[in-house]
Structure 1
Amino acid sequence: MSDLQAIILTGGRAARLDGIPKALVRLEGATLLERAVDAARAAGAVDVIVAGPEVDPAPDHVRWVREDPAFTGPAAALRAAMSMAAADAAWTLVLAVDLVRPAEAVTRLMTDKELLPGDTDGICLGDASSRPQWLTGLYRTAALARGAASLDDEGRDQAVRQIMAELAIAVVRAPDEVVADIDTWQDLQDAGAVAPRAEKEDDR
């Protein structure tokens, strides 16, 4: 079995994008979900769990899970994913689906992992101000499972930082373009991405 598994979170409301499914936004010929899955598999993740609503088209050979009830936040989604993750995978890669450059982010995480002290529970990238981007991280599975299990009410409406509160996580500042995500229409335009409904209109 691979020592790396991946969790990709896709289940937010995308309110600032009028509710379009971010997983189906297309960039450079692929959906954001396909790009995230490809980045995880290129790093060696055999098992990929997607936390969010199933979409079509979807990457092959991923497993789906959803927080219950839906839309109760990324901490609840991450906890739900950890409930079906493999306990014997040493590392769990966690990615938000809306990353513009997931391959670069994952490469940075995998490279910097080799520099971690043995007592560190994981690593996540930080933005220009070194603010942790918890959903762009690589964590020891046992530690992440422990943090997820510590949440009350299965993590509903709680912040991901609460999962990490008791863990020793290294935060590595990364260039803005590596941690950039698509939250707004301006972000989508700046990235050169295409919203799924706009793509359908173009096809008519």
Structure 2
Amino acid sequence: MSQSPSLADLSPVGRAAMALKRFQNGILKELDFEIANASDDGERAALDESKARLQVAVKQMTELAKDDERQRGIEILNTALDLMFASADAASRIDLRRIPKAISMAHGRPGGKVSARSRRDTAEVTWKPIALELAKEIRSKEPKITQVELAEKIEARWYHRVQKIEARLGRKIKCPKTQLIPALSKWEKNGELVKCNK
């Protein structure tokens, strides 16, 4: 079994060829992944073309790098330029596939917006009226209580308050802890709930 030479054993050109091979393998794997996940034939064809150009440029560069003659430096530089353009093209095509996905994830999908609106509408008729009623009761008895303390007391009294309502509806009504303090803040700002008297 033959071992590949270590970097110390290679000439500068040999080291460049080894680095080129590592680079080629990494970007080709990335291109193969993107080709497999391409959404249509046009996109797949453009990625295949980019991959083919990259493979040709890497092969030419590898062949030139095997020859240690100085006069071939110009040829190596020209081929390196072709390699650079092929690599940039491949990388830009990969990025062009990722950018729409990133934008979609950042701005949400239409289904997610509909779902959020549905949850918000459901909250307005389920847990929010009960939480507001409890908040008013607790705040009237304890006007110096903070929003965090108020949220904790609402959670502590929640089960006893909603037991009869849940039995009548035939389903559970949960008070989402992560949404309770923002709701309390909103109610204080719009005057539905008296603010804390410090």
TM range (shorter): under 0.3
Which of the pair has more CA radius of gyration? 2
Relative contact order (C-alpha < 8 Å, sep 6+): which is higher? Answer: 1
Higher helix proportion (structure 1 or 2): 2
Higher strand proportion (structure 1 or 2): 1
The alignment's TM-score, normalised by the length of structure 2, stands at 0.22
The alignment's TM-score, normalised by the length of structure 1, stands at 0.22
